[in-house]
A and B are shown apart, each in its own frame.
Chain A
Amino acid sequence: MTEDEFTAYQSLGEETEDHRWAFGTGFTDPLEGIGPSVPGGVDAAALAAYCLMLGDDALVYSHRLQQWMTRMPELEEETALANIALDLLGQARMLLARAGQAEGAAADGTGRDEDRLAFFRDEHEFRNVRLAEHLDADFAELTGRLLVFSAWRLALCTHLASAADPVLAAIAAKSARELAYHRDYAAQWVIRLGDGTPLSHGKMQAALEAIWPLAGELFQPDPVSARLPGVAVDPADLRGEVDAVLDAVLAEATLSRPGAAPLARVAGQAGRDGVHTEGFGYLLAELQSLARAHPDATW
């Protein structure tokens, strides 16, 4: 090891007051030095709810990808998914931290921090779309779902880069660069499998049929966006852009666009209202149980 390789890590071995919370981040604020204020004219409570929605999408999706670790067909795909999961986790951290800042601004006090929001909310308090929590049955579903999610989130973040909240705009602009790469990765696999052997084609088409009912919710109105003019994007406005990407990839992959109807809402409610699919409870149990059992543990 060169001297620099050693010194880059030297500070880690030192005794400091900077203990790390064992099961969360705890050690640093991803928005360190970025002011907690909310611009005038922006409904702070609605901004908190909006950042929570988008943060939950990323947090839950990231966890689903992490569950694939050690189960990929090749090491290269393992690193790909780990990196995509890490990007989404980073986006989630910033968005949840911003949600906490806006929550504090709305209440003239201090909002919850990112760990409190990630680990100490119950199922009905999560606002992610149900597509994010889907448990992929196989690699075809994994790549098909990632294509739909990243194409949609890229379109959303591209629009949000000019949002009236400068912190959300900065997070979105940064996220967009990462999401374009995720989309391109997923598209390559959908084309490879769709335009591959009869077996891979059949599996890819079946995967799309399984995913498609969950895609409708991405473009449906949610309870928050309308309260944030100049900040939020109307979900319906993204459909054309996302459809163009999906249609181009599906055509190249010789796959047909499923006609399945969107997954039913429950008494008019879906993910954005805190109504989730059965598998979500198990996901949250895995994500949260250790942190809840040892809420103040450090290492």
Chain B
Amino acid sequence: MVTRAQPDLAAARAVAAAVPDPELPMVTVADLGILRDVGARDDGSLVVTITPTYSGCPALREIAHDLRRRLAAAGFAEVTVRTALAPAWSSDWITAAGRRKLLEAGVAPPHPAAAQPGPVPLTLAGIRREPVTCPQCESGRTAQTAAFSGTACKALYRCESCREPFEYIKDI
């Protein structure tokens, strides 16, 4: 053998996939589609590829840090975390499991994103016009109260039926 022992990629993937998102700790980086790949170099070191959700998302740095820490704890000493920008992250990459966990936590998962930016909307009905279902009571009578929210990936809504405010993952 000329190359060093290859790491157990399935085990590494399982550790990496379990890293929670710092802003949405009910879902993991795998649920959100942030974790793109776990691979190995010839020298046996790990290469973990992640992608930012939004350009300025400060969570990416904490995620990279957490990946290194958890992988080190699991016995993977040499880990490189690299960023991939293309293709750009889309909320469509949130997995079915991720959507279910978001819903259970009271956060409405995103509608399918438009492939290309659409025409500028000329109404006052909110930036996205598709109705969002209330994660609490499942009513379709909801209204956008703000196009943005506490993190870059969410908007604020309110249910007209149960009157509860809730967050919606923006579809981009």
The chain A residues found within 8 Å of chain B, CB to CB, are: 2, 4-5, 7-12, 14, 18, 27-28, 30-34, 76-77, 79-80, 82-84, 86-91, 93-94, 151, 154, 158, 166-167, 169-171, 173-181, 183-185, 187-188, 191-192, 245, 248-249, 252
Contacts and interface: CB of A to CB of B under 8 A. Distances in A.
B172 A178 contact: yes
A177 B83 CA distance: 18
Given A167-B85, A180-B117, A181-B170, A79 B148 contact: yes
B86 A169 contact: yes
Q: Tell me what chain B mostly uses at the interface: helix, strand, loop, or mixed.
A: loop
Nearest to B21: A8
A252 B122 contact: yes
Interface of B: 20-22, 25-26, 49, 52, 54-58, 60-62, 64-66, 69, 80-90, 117-124, 126-127, 145-150, 152, 156, 170, 172
Main secondary structure of the interface of A (DSSP, over half): helix
A191 B170 CA distance: 22
Nearest to B47: A33
A173 B88 CA distance: 7
A7 B20 contact: yes
Contacts of A18: 65
A82 B80 CA distance: 31
Nearest to B83: A32
Contacts of A248: 119-120, 122
Nearest to A1: B25
A170 B25 contact: no
